[in-house]
């Protein structure tokens, strides 16, 4: 039966809609709020940096961002949700190094790096190794000596299996004689409660989360993880200066989307984040939080992510650490 004119017109319109080029898609994007997933609880460094950056992007562009915290499983809950989300630009991921670490650390994950499209590399920040004030530990050497008393002599609290704090301390263990019992948490707030309550002995957290407790003399800093001292805490030596030569690990912040995100949307988002990261007020706020701005676009961000994945795969293989 021949098609009637209205049916033919409808099919033609549908075909035209499907053929809209990426540039046209970007012209109409976004038409509703953009959800940004974070793999850690509200109040932690990843959450704070995400909100700082997306707020500034929103101010400059008029875009509306909704930050959604999805903690758990070392970040895998958030990573899997982002990987399987519709590739329409309305679900993004603001990630820390777990996305590069977990495919090698966990025996089974539901996603792979190829399931993501890197958009922007925001910056990096050191972590700080801290110990309870009541312990007679004032250096890395003191910590290593105390940990040799028994396998469980030192209880180390991390932000979760596969988190930056966990793996940074695993690298420290592989480069020294440090021993500890690993106690994973879901975020820094609960860690500090238990560290101050003498239920754990040491932790390693991003510098922005650590400094308020250090400067109030509620915990003692043993070292920061960067290759150089942070400008916001030059009084804290690096772990390399503390005797572990060559040690350097930082946490970083990256925006990604699902792998099939249209190129027009990728370039639109990259441009908006680039503009925000060049604004003096955001640069100052991030600097005050201990974040050194990198501000790379999609191609260099993808290369950085691949290099991080390869680096951590080698480190994890060497340490023999795996999580079921």
201 phi/psi in degrees, rounded to 5: -110, -40
Give the pLDDT of residue 187.
77
CATH domain 126-224 topology = D-Maltodextrin-Binding Protein; domain 2 (3.40.190)
Task: Report CA-CA distances (Å) from 95 to 37, 248, 251.
Answer: 8, 20, 10
- Return d(Cα 234, Cα 216) in angstroms, integer: 16
Give the pLDDT of residue 312.
87
Give the pLDDT of residue 317.
82
Give the pLDDT of residue 321.
73
Closest CA to 275 of 46, 123, 95, 53: 53
Instruction: Using the CB atoms, write b or e for 186-225: b if 16+ within 10 Å.
Output: bbbeebbebbeeeebbbbbbbbbbbbebbeeeebbbbbbb
CATH, domain range 31-124+251-319 = 3.40.190.150
Residue 292 has a CB neighbour count (10 Å cut-off) of 16
Residue 306 CB partners (closer than 8 Å, separation 6+): 113
Beta bridge partners of 116: 258
- Return d(Cα 37, Cα 45) in angstroms, integer: 14
Give the pLDDT of residue 320.
74
Give the pLDDT of residue 25.
54
Structure tokens at 275: 């503009």
Give the pLDDT of residue 161.
77
Give the pLDDT of residue 26.
56
**CATH topology identical between 31-124+251-319 and 126-224:** yes
- Return d(Cα 61, Cα 111) in angstroms, integer: 31
Give the pLDDT of residue 10.
44
- Domain range annotation of the chain: 31-124+251-319, 126-224
Biggest CA pair distance of the chain: 89
Give the dihedral of Cα atoms 76, 79, 81, 85; nearest 10 deg. Answer: -160
- Return d(Cα 224, Cα 230) in angstroms, integer: 8
- Return d(Cα 25, Cα 6) in angstroms, integer: 26
Residue 238 carries which DSSP code?
A: B
Give the pLDDT of residue 166.
87
Per-residue tens of pLDDT for the chain, all 324 residues: 444 444 444 444 444 444 445 544 556 899 999 999 999 889 888 999 999 999 999 999 999 999 999 998 888 999 999 999 999 999 999 999 999 999 998 888 999 999 999 999 999 999 999 999 999 999 999 999 999 988 789 999 998 877 788 889 988 998 999 999 999 998 788 999 999 999 999 999 999 889 999 999 999 999 999 999 999 999 999 999 999 999 999 999 999 999 999 999 999 999 999 999 999 999 999 999 999 999 999 999 999 999 999 988 887 887 677 787
pTM of the model: 0.82
**Placement of tokens 């999580």 in the chain:** 323
Of the CA atoms within 13 Å of residue 209, those in its CB half-sphere come to 30
């Amino acid at each position: 039966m021949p098609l009637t004119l209205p049916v033919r017109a409808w099919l033609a319109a549908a075909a035209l809609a499907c053929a809209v080029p990426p540039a046209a898609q970007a012209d109409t994007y976004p038409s509703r709020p953009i959800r940004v997933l974070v793999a850690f609880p509200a109040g932690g460094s990843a959450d704070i940096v995400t909100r700082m950056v997306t707020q500034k992007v929103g101010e400059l562009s008029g875009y509306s961002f909704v930050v959604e915290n999805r903690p758990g499983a070392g970040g895998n809950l958030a990573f899997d949700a982002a990987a399987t989300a519709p590739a329409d630009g309305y679900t993004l991921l603001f990630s820390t190094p777990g996305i590069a670490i977990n495919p090698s650390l966990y025996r089974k994950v539901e996603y792979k790096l190829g399931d993501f499209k890197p958009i922007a590399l925001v910056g990096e920040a050191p972590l700080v190794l801290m110990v309870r004030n009541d312990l007679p530990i004032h250096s890395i050497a003191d910590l290593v000596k105390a940990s040799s008393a028994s396998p469980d002599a030192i209880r180390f609290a991390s932000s979760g299996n596969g988190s930056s704090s966990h793996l940074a301390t695993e690298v420290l263990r592989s480069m020294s004689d440090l021993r500890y019992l690993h106690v994973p948490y879901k975020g820094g707030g609960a860690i500090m409660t238990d560290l101050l309550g003498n239920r754990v002995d040491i932790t390693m957290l991003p510098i922005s989360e650590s400094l308020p407790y250090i400067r109030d003399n509620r915990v003692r800093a043993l070292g920061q993880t960067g290759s150089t001292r942070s400008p916001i805490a030059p009084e804290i030596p690096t772990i390399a200066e503390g005797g572990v030569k060559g040690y350097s690990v930082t946490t970083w912040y990256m925006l990604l989307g699902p792998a099939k995100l249209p190129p027009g949307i990728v370039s639109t988002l990259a441009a908006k984040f680039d503009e925000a990261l060049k604004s003096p007020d955001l640069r100052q706020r991030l600097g005050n939080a201990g974040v050194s701005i990198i501000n790379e676009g999609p191609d260099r961000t993808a290369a950085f992510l691949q290099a991080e994945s390869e680096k951590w795969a080698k480190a994890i293989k060497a340490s023999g650490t795996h999580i079921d």
